[in-house]
Amino acid sequence: MPSRRHTANEDPLRNFHPTVRAWFASEFAGPTPPQRAGWPLIAAGRNVLIAAPTGSGKTLTAFLHAISRLASQGPELPDETQVVYVSPLKALGNDVQKNLLAPLAALRERDPSLPEISVVVRSGDTPASQRAAMRKRAPHVLVTTPESLYILLTSESGQSMLSTVRTVIVDEIHAMVGDKRGAHLSLTLERLADLAGEFQRIGLSATQNPIRRTADFLAGVGRDCEIVDTGHLRELDLGLEVPESPLGAVCSHETWHEIYERSVELIQQHKTTLVFANTRKLTERIAAKLCEVLGEDAVASHHGSLSRERRLDAEARLKNGELRALVATASLELGIDIGDVDLVIQVGVPARIATFLQRAGRAGHGIGRVPRSRIFPLTRDELVAASAILLAVRRGELDETIVPPGPIDILAQQVVAACVQRDRTVDELHTRLARAWPYRELSRETLDEAIGLHDRGRYALLHSDAVGGRVLATKRARIPALTSGGAIPDRADYDVVLEPENTKIGTLDEDFAIESSQGDIFQLGTTSWRILKVEPGKVRVASAAGLPPTLPFWFGEAPARSNELAHAASEVREHAHDPDWSMSTIGVPRAAAVQLADYLLAGRKGLGVV
């Protein structure tokens, strides 16, 4: 089905509440392309996937009609949850809540007769007091994560809250489509449809190929989904940086020194810079070196092993203009609000074209602005990969989105949770769960296998009635269903606790913590810490500011290079022995083209082939 294009003669705001229309007209010059094309479809109740570049107003596209519909219900608006927003990151949900409260307040200021629309975040960080308040009074708009939505759907109070849902917005859906987390979410949405009836599904996505596959994932089997695709291509200011010293098989100290010098030069030429690295250890290393030149108050790091408070502090300092540079891992790839960023530096090469574009798009995040990004390869092979990424971007190529077949372990989790809700027949389970796109080819035999994982032995969570064809949850099933769901693997990390405040500042990999001793000094979050004591699950520390630290390490899986990027790299290896080809076709500077040609010609001379 082709992507929809909006007709210029139509007014995309015609279906909105008058106060909402007036507020939008006072705040914005006009609708952006995704808004102009998306709002009529959303107003018609269609399932819609909106694919547009970063900073094009996708979030407002998804929310504004829902807000208008809530406002149109007037003082009679019941205390019930009608809109659910799901994002893969808790921080993104917090941003959305803050960004919704301001326009909601402005609408009531314009028209005091409008109902007070409540927006509440429910995630793993939500305090118990707020959870209790939600049970007493359901929010109109629930902002949550896939895992928290699953927990709510499995709990009795959550089922009562979610039974009135009319719209579900899935943000950054491209970040979940290709893994187990996406499969888990797809089943959760089907269970929600079973509880609340069919609801409107709105997906927000960045670059995807093919976009129809993501739309099918969002809608599920047997449902239509319109696509609003305004394209991923926008004007980009991209550049490849190489040191004067030739890159080698590994990154030498001399090369690192030149990379740091050039990075500092670029940072000083811009107001705010976001630096991406591919690992947490590299993030800490780069941040430490930049601090030496720019000052500790001008640079911060941001990654998943820092405490939530420290990450939020770094985000706020960048947004307020207090930082010259923030060094981050993938933790800042998605659309967390960090204010204006003038430049993105990528140290090392990402494994996917879409990742590169996502990161580059964090600069110039806004309508009509041009993202500016510079990439620093660390080795000769990374020079090939960086050139391949720039070649692919120049041609408008994207990584293929692959939706893996639904995993059985995720299916088994959701079967237990569904039966905790109420007793089911096997036929009913199969009919409902097979509507999730990753499970569209689910057979009865596979479903029986999933049930069989939990209906045997002393600690069975399910009981199968072979005669009646029913599946029942045992008494002990509810707690495992609530506490063991999801697809994010548990990590045996050690909490880093600052003494005497007893404040958590982050986490360390278990192996690093065990290998450390009292008195050791390590870096976390651009600060040095002295270990006071290592105990089970905790490393107690005191500040060692100013003392030279060691860098901690964390184990994790590196993402695989996409097929499309691999094909582009093969083309580079075939043709880049000619520097003129690299400069004209890829657009790299002469210094990079010469280094690339020297490397490939040396390989051809030694091996006889590329």
Spatial contact of 542 and 530, defined as CB atoms under 8 Å apart: yes
Backbone angles phi, psi at 406, to 5 degrees: -55, 125
Q: Which residues contact 431 (CB under 8 A, 6 or more apart)?
A: none
Local confidence band at 338 (pLDDT 50, 70, 90 cut-offs): confident
94 falls in which pLDDT band (50, 70, 90)?
confident
Least confidently predicted of 27-31, 85-89, 93-97, 315-319: 93-97
Which residue is associated with the tokens 């990450």? 311
Cα dihedral 391/588/244/571 (nearest 10):
40
Percentage of the chain with pLDDT > 90?
A: 76
Mean pLDDT of 343-366: 90
Closest-CA residue to 159 (of 117, 132, 194): 194
Residues in the chain: 610
Question: Judging by DSSP bridges, how do beta strands 83-86 and 141-144 pair with one another?
Answer: parallel
Q: pTM here? A: 0.89
Give the pLDDT band of residue 610 (cuts 50, 70, 90).
Answer: low
In whole angstroms, give the CA distance from residue 216 to residue 223: 8
pLDDT of residue 218 exceeding 50: yes
Mean pLDDT of 374-392: 97
pLDDT on residue 492: 82
Check if the beta carbon of residue 227 is closer than 8 Å to that of residue 218: no
User: Which residues fall within 8 angstroms of residue 43, CB to CB, at 6 or more apart?
Assistant: 15, 16, 65
CATH number of this structure's domain 237-397+558-607 = 3.40.50.300
* Domain chopping of the chain, boundaries: 18-229, 237-397+558-607, 408-483, 494-543
Minimum mean pLDDT among 219-223, 258-262, 360-364, 494-498: which range?
360-364
Q: Is the pLDDT of residue 6 over 70?
A: no
The mean pLDDT value for 591-610 works out to 88
Residues 151-162: pLDDT tens digits? 999 999 999 999
Question: Taking the CB of residue 489, how many other CB atoms lie within 10 A of it?
Answer: 7
The pLDDT, as a whole number, for residue 221 is 97
Residue 4 has pLDDT above 70, yes or no: no
Question: Long-range contacts: 464-472, Cβ < 8 Å, 24+?
Answer: 464/426, 468/425, 469/425, 469/426, 469/427, 470/423, 470/424, 470/425, 470/426, 471/415, 471/419, 471/423, 471/424, 471/425, 471/426, 471/429, 472/419, 472/423
| Phi-psi region at 222: left, alpha or beta (left = phi > 0; alpha = psi -120 to 50) | left
Q: Whose structure tokens read 């690192």?
A: 256
Q: Which residues contact 603 (CB under 8 A, 6 or more apart)?
A: 610
Closest CA to 486 of 247, 187, 205, 58: 187
Distance from chain centroid for Cα 154 = 24
Digit-coded pLDDT (tens) for 49-67: 999 877 788 899 999 999 9
As a whole number, mean pLDDT of residues 462-472 equals 87
As a CATH number, domain 408-483 is: 1.10.10
> Are 237-397+558-607 and 408-483 the same fold in CATH?
no
- Tens of pLDDT, residues 156-194: 999 999 999 999 999 999 999 999 999 999 999 999 999
Which CATH number does 18-229 carry? Answer: 3.40.50.300
Strands 200-205 and 48-51: what pairing? parallel
486-525 pLDDT tens trace: 888 777 899 999 999 999 999 999 999 999 999 999 999 9
